[in-house]
Amino acid sequence: MESGEKREFAARAASAVSDAAAASGGMAFDQCVDVYDERPRLAMHAAARDRRPACLVAAIPAHPVLIRESGHACYRRGVVALPESAEPQAFKAFEHERWQSAARVYDAEFGRLTSQIAPFLLDAAGVTRGVRMLDLASGPGYVAAGASARGAKVTGTDFASEMLALAREQHPGLTFEVADAEALPFGEGEFEAATMGFLVGHLGRPAVAVREACRVLRRGGRLAIAWWLPPQRCIPFAIVTESIRTRGRMDVGLPPAPPFELFGDPAMLHALLSESGFSGVESVEVPMVWRLDTAEEMFDAYLNGTARTAGALRRQTPEALAAIRAEVIARCAPFRTTRGLELPMPAHVASGIKP
């Protein structure tokens, strides 16, 4: 590798480690070598706590990764680390409580955005008439409804009963079941296609959920996963995160979890699918725009209609929360149009086949 490439990868790796530490409940990530089947791996260490979070090592032959060996930086092909929550049950309970409370605001404010991904997910999963399909994290049922419109035999699931209450109201006649994506109540090979719309970044153990999806698919079945591109591409995420960082506190005691933006990197999403048993992994970028009337509406949507971001906002002091709100409104100014706010929120959809 040329020296310029080394500097670029070193900078990216250092930035990723720093971001991961900040976003994962105070955990610091040490880059080191741990030989397993003669492969280097990235290992995580909890600096502030006497514990070692679980870590899934995923092989990506095409991506060189910076590691440190005896104090010296070197580059080898083959591994990235996909972290899991050190407290998966605490994180799951937090997410569940938030989505139970946020369901109707999410539908009213984010539904106009996240529903845009439905046709891309369905295409990537190969959903056509007669296909038996499982929709994970159905929420208010946007993807499930799209699958039904194509003639698929769809079962929608979510762990938040309040989300499914909305889905049943809006899509009577479709089947929705309360289910935990990490422990699905279905048999092996029961479905021919599966979708995960904006789920993986809300899981304490994303690889467990993807392996569960693989289990319930028949051979040749496809799984399609959607997640947001990095915050620098998804303007609302960048605006809210930077507003909290500059006017409030990032470390507010949320349960530790993998970095929210982890799967914004296509390589990480590909690794998640590959290591969970899928082959023929491919992805497509999806341009999406979130249209709102005002910046105040956007702030309130995050405060009342999300999980982690709402948790971070609600743990600020009243003075800091007011300052963050003013900062968000100011940062939205460049995105005002005669029709209101138009905020780029691109995503990507990755899919794979169960061999």
Q: What is the CATH number of the domain that holds 95?
A: 3.40.50.150
Residues 74 and 130 in one domain: no
Same domain, 158 and 115: yes
User: Is residue 320 one of the residues assigned to a domain?
Assistant: no
Judge if 37 and 121 occupy the same domain. Answer: no
Domain count of the fold of the chain: 2
Distance CA 18, CA 248 (A): 19
Residue 94 lies in a domain: yes
Enter the tokens of residue 244. 């909290």
Is 239 part of a structural domain of the chain? Answer: no
198 and 51 housed in the same domain? no
- Among the candidates 32, 50, 83, a domain finishes at 83
pTM of the model: 0.80
Boundary-marking domain end, from 83, 107, 142: 83
Task: Determine the Cα–Cα distance for residues 276 and 197; give it in Å rounded to an integer.
Answer: 17
In a domain, 326, yes or no: no
Q: What are phi and psi of 335, to 5 degrees?
A: -105, 10
**Element holding 135 (H helix, E strand):** strand 132-136
Give me the average pLDDT of each 10-residue run along the chain (355 residues).
44 44 37 27 30 33 30 33 88 98 98 98 98 98 98 98 98 97 98 98 96 98 98 96 97 94 94 95 97 98 98 98 98 96 98 98
In a shared domain, residues 22 and 127: no
Are 51 and 119 found together in one domain?
Answer: no
> What end-to-end distance do the CA atoms of the chain give, in Å?
34
In a domain, 45, yes or no: yes
Residues 148 and 280 in one domain: yes
If asked whether residues 119 and 264 sit together in one domain, one would say: yes
Specify whether 144 is located in the same domain as 276. yes
pLDDT for residue 4: 52
Three-state secondary-structure class, residue 284: strand
Element (H, E) at 211: helix 206-216
Q: Is residue 280 part of a domain?
A: yes
Structural domain for 225, as ranges:
88-230+257-286+347-353
In sequence order, the 6+-apart residues with CB closer than 8 A to the CB of 73 are: 6, 10, 66, 67
Q: Would residue 64 count as lying in a domain?
A: yes
Whether 112 and 125 map to the same domain: the answer is yes
Q: Token digits for 272?
A: 């998640």
* Domain final residue pick, 83, 111, 136: 83
The answer to whether position 51 is within a domain reads yes
